[in-house]
A and B are shown apart, each in its own frame.
Chain A
Amino acid sequence: MSKVEFNKETGPREVFCGLTSIVWLHRRMPDAFFLVVGSRTCAHLIQSAAGVMIFAEPRFGTAILEEKDLAGLADAHEELDRVVNDLIARRPEIKTLFLVGSCPSEVIKLDLATVAEKLNKRFLGQVRFVNYSGSGIETTFTQGEDGALKALIPLMDSSDEEKLLLVGTLANNVEDRFKKIFRNFGISNIESFPPRQSTELPKIGKNTKVLLTQPYLSDTVRDLKHRGCEIISAPFPLGIEGSTEWFLAAAKAFNVSELKVHEIISPLINRAKLALESHKEILKGKRLFLLPESQLEISLARFLHNECEMDLIEVGTPYLNKDLMKEEINLLPDNTKIVEGQHVEKQLDRVRESNPDLVVCGMGLANPLEAEGISTKWSIEMVFSPIHGIDQAADLAGLFSKPLKRNQILTSNTLVTH
């Protein structure tokens, strides 16, 4: 392990909670509905994070707890039953219904597992119910996906068939690219989790080799291990370096020769390097400060330093699973300062003191920092954009070079007007 400096910080945080991940999960599985059992705050949070407005009836919603639910005047289980009945009558095409726990439902100890069990019996053969918690008291942002995937594992049948299982939500086009490349390696049996249809869950077992596409899936990994899956240790497929190592690790697990891998991905690498050049020109030597939010921060820091030659001031992460991040941390430059957790005020003090060229942060902080003259990239964009793989390396760099480039355009005084 490289000599990385680990720090922990506690205090007020400026991060999304796990409910936010519903925004991309519901798009990945169009036959699923996400029903949050929570408060008006939960409903308002998801609609605010999902962007401006919804354009049609969405496949997520909130069963908003009211005073009578809390005072015990209404049986919460019966109330939830009623809401679910209405919902299924309205959306008969739904195949899987996720009951998503929230801060208030966790605090009043609403037993969603029992509710799900009962509903499963009643709607047998029509709709499946699973439950997990996306509450802010337990989960940060992307951890919501970890909870949702973990909840699906018990529904996955066993099979000893050898396969490569890509775990973590990917953009569909990126997923297709990856599968094509793996097939070129000679790996033919490739599946994804989560799948594109919630009912088409992959079968898993002792010959399932799991390759993670996202770094925030600690609980899912643990349960897959319990089911006998082998976890391929690799950095994450962000940037050329991470993706190359990721492909190589998978190839090794399937006894594909390194030579063959290089033969297939070399043209991709050369092409990507060329595309990366113009972004590197802008990013090179610029100083980067990453605030914690998406848990992609460590991989992004590695990419932006190793491939784009940015200098790392501080790499924040909401929490750190050193085991899962081992390969990533090994690739970081010596003396990288990693800060796990957050005290947002103290961290912003450090941002101002260190005078960075670019700050990666949440949307709530971006405009205030811009107003102070600090360029920003908001982290929610990383989870909505196709950024994985060698082919996307330049696009990923582009997310960071764009604010700097724009800044350059707006502050240059060369414009001549007549």
Chain B
Amino acid sequence: MELTLWTYEGPPHVGAMRIASSMKDIHYVLHAPQGDTYADLLFTMIERRGQRPPVTYTTFQARDLGGDTAELVKKNIKEAVERFKPKTLLVGESCTAELIQDQPGALAKGMGFDIPIVNLELPAYSKKENWGASETFYQLTRTLLKEKVSYSEKISPLRWKEFGRRPKVNILGPSLLGFRCRDDVIEIQRILSEQGIDTNVVAPLGASPDDIERLIDAEININLYPEIAEASCEWLKRNFGMEYTNTIPIGIKNTIEFINEVHKKLDLPLTNKKELENKSKLPWYSKSVDSNYLTGKRVFIFGDGTHAIAAAKIAKEELGFEVVGLGTYSREMARQVRATAKDLNVEALITNNYLEVEDAMKKAAPELVLGTQMERHSAKRLGIPCSVISTPMHVQDVPARYSPQMGWEGANVIFDDWVHPLMMGLEEHLIDMFKHDFEFVDGHQSHLGHTATNTKDILNSDEKKEKNSKEGIIWTESGRAELIKVPFFVRGKVKTNTEKYAILRGIPEISDETLYDAKAYFS
């Protein structure tokens, strides 16, 4: 048993719902009790969808358990097929139905329908939402294409040349409740099209079962969101020889690298390499004088695997920040996140417990947090600016405006979204100069609605803490005056370090000099 107060991911059948709801002409019969319909509101409220998810819940009750729940499953399958006339039927169970073992998938297959039926077995007590989405997309792809394996030749990424047409690719992975997927797809299609590459199928978002059957008309697959699409890409590679990309085009460097990878795989010459560097404003904005003040900003990153890794790279290499924490809730991506963390000399945090993330955040004393909506709340409590980079989805993560994370425009969005919560570079410099003026309000970070605290209050609260200090260390007048001069976002860290130093050296009273001694000691 695991005590959970809040969870980053839902159960695996919600992942299956994400695939079903993303697609057309699909229906999902879910063997589930009353109440599991809550998941509909994730789509209709958070994504503001104007359609119900294509899901029929069998709604079994306690009194059905003694009787024939299998009959109830069959009745619901029959009604759903007649009413919704899907081209492909997904059949599965939620956590409770898994325990009563009616095997709804097998039941459905015995009912004599002339449509493909995908039997979803998603272990609810060991797996989570992203895994469920990946498995569903994989099972669906496999079911719809497995018959073609035997008579299909290995797909060469170069065959477009023989066919005398532009190369065609599939974009795999975007789904509902995925972070900015709607806009990423548009951006990536635009980039590919500019390079003379056509999109064959985007799936699951907006695809029908017919489109899945057409996947093998393309030369290669773009594995846009590995959490959802990697298993399918791998199956297509194994059975049809279709190559797939590994670079996630988030940030300038990765977008260029992605374009390179696609060209290399297709053996398509890249003629506009120089031009690519000027497609986004991020490189110049980052180089411009104002951004000089962003150098070394301490940033703490937590999210799904794909977005956390991409954020770390952008933060370090494209904005010149210092990554002081990196983690993910995606256990499936733990290995990659650990590798990235190692490169950055930080320890990766792999957890589904948001309180652990908050603790790590506190300890790392960052100046900016890049996280999920939960980290936004934690950061708010700690008075640290935050930008959201990853699911779980919140209604604010489905903005009305075009707002991708990927490609050139994605890099523009990222620059604005990450830098605006901070104080503008020159502005910060000026405030730093004037911060001892009496008008100055400490905690004055930006115009974006952070609660500013009066310097005096911080002094008082600091004083209280000091008097309660367990180790009985006394801060002298001069020590305290010097501490106040330290920027508020690192003040906690400086205070702890100085006290640590004082204990180490057996210094009972901390003066301004002790503070400088400690600073030198720890630097």
Contacts and interface: CB of A to CB of B under 8 A. Distances in A.
B44 A368 contact: yes
Given A13-B37, A103-B96, A345-B83, A61 B1 contact: no
A232 interface: no
Given A65-B1, A368-B52, A15 B44 contact: no
Contacts of B65: 107, 137
Give the contact-size bracket for chain A.
35 or more
Contacts of B3: 61-64, 83, 86-87
A44 B10 contact: yes
A108 B44 contact: no
B42 interface: yes
A19 to B, nearest CB: 7
Contacts of B179: none
B36 A136 contact: yes
A4 to B, nearest CB: 25
Interface in B110-160: 123-126, 128
Contacts of B100: 107
Give the contact-size bracket for chain B.
35 or more
Contacts of A57: 5, 355
A397 B130 CA distance: 42
A363 B83 contact: no
B44 A137 contact: no
Nearest to B395: A52
Contacts of B395: 52
B65 to A, nearest CB: 7
Interface in A43-102: 43-45, 47-49, 52-58, 60-67, 69-70, 74, 76, 79-80, 82-83, 86-87
Contact of A79 (B1, B11, B96): B1
A187 interface: no
Nearest to B45: A363
Interface in B14-70: 14, 33-42, 44-45, 48-52, 56-62, 65
A365 B61 contact: no
B45 A367 contact: yes
B56 A106 contact: no
Contact of A103 (B49, B95, B381): B95
A236 B99 CA distance: 40
Contact of A368 (B9, B10, B50, B56): B50
A192 interface: no
Given A63-B3, A66-B125, A136-B34, A363 B41 contact: yes
A40 B94 CA distance: 10
A333 interface: no
A106 B124 contact: no
B509 interface: no
Interface string A349-370: 0000000000000111111101
A41 interface: yes
Contacts of A48: 38-39, 41-42
A66 B126 contact: yes
Nearest to B355: A57
Given A136-B34, A364-B44, A66 B1 contact: yes
Interface in B85-118: 94-96, 99-100
A65 B39 CA distance: 20
Contacts of B6: 43, 47, 53-54, 58
Given A41-B124, A67-B125, A364-B44, A137 B34 contact: yes
Nearest to A371: B50
Contact of B50 (A83, A363, A367): A367
B4 interface: yes
A12 B374 contact: no
Contacts of B83: 345
B7 A137 contact: no
A368 to B, nearest CB: 5
Nearest to A87: B3
Contacts of A17: 33-36, 38
Contacts of A45: 35-36, 38
Given A12-B76, A19-B35, A364-B37, A67 B126 contact: yes
Contacts, number: 194
A11 B7 CA distance: 31
Majority secondary structure of chain B interface residues (helix, strand, loop or mixed): mixed
Contacts of B194: none
Contacts of A368: 44, 49-52
B373 interface: yes
Contacts of B279: none
A87 to B, nearest CB: 6
B101 to A, nearest CB: 11
A364 B40 contact: yes
Given A15-B35, A364-B40, A52 B394 contact: yes
Contacts of A39: 11, 95-96, 124-125
Contacts of B162: none
Interface in B493-523: none
A14 B38 CA distance: 8
B5 to A, nearest CB: 4
Nearest to A50: B6
Contact of A70 (B10, B62, B125): B125
Given A53-B394, A61-B5, A137-B61, A365 B52 contact: yes
B69 to A, nearest CB: 11
B429 interface: no
Contacts of B35: 15-20, 45, 103, 135-136
Given A63-B2, A367-B49, A107 B96 contact: yes
B38 A137 contact: no
B38 A40 contact: no
Nearest to A103: B96
A138 B62 contact: yes
A40 to B, nearest CB: 4
Nearest to A367: B44
A368 B40 CA distance: 10
Interface in A177-196: none
A140 interface: yes
A104 interface: yes
Contact of A49 (B38, B50, B76): B38
Contacts of A345: 56, 79, 83
Pick the most buried of B56, B125, B381: most chain A CB atoms within 10 A of its CB. B125
A308 B47 CA distance: 34
A76 to B, nearest CB: 7
Contacts of A103: 33, 35, 95-96
A273 to B, nearest CB: 35
A104 B4 contact: no
A20 B36 CA distance: 11
Contacts of B273: none
Given A138-B62, A364-B41, 8 more contacts: A12-B59, A41-B13, A55-B377, A61-B5, A62-B3, A64-B1, A367-B45, A368-B44
28 contacts: A13-B59, A14-B37, A17-B36, A39-B95, A39-B124, A40-B124, A41-B94, A43-B7, A48-B38, A58-B5, A62-B5, A65-B1, A65-B125, A66-B2, A70-B125, A74-B1, A80-B1, A83-B2, A103-B35, A103-B96, A136-B35, A137-B33, A137-B62, A364-B45, A365-B40, A367-B45, A367-B49, A368-B51
Interface of B: 1-7, 9-11, 13-14, 33-42, 44-45, 48-52, 56-62, 65, 76, 79, 83, 94-96, 99-100, 123-126, 128, 355, 373-374, 377, 381, 394-395
Nearest 10 Cβ contacts at the A-B interface: A17-B35, A371-B50, A364-B40, A136-B35, A103-B96, A39-B95, A136-B33, A136-B34, A79-B1, A44-B10
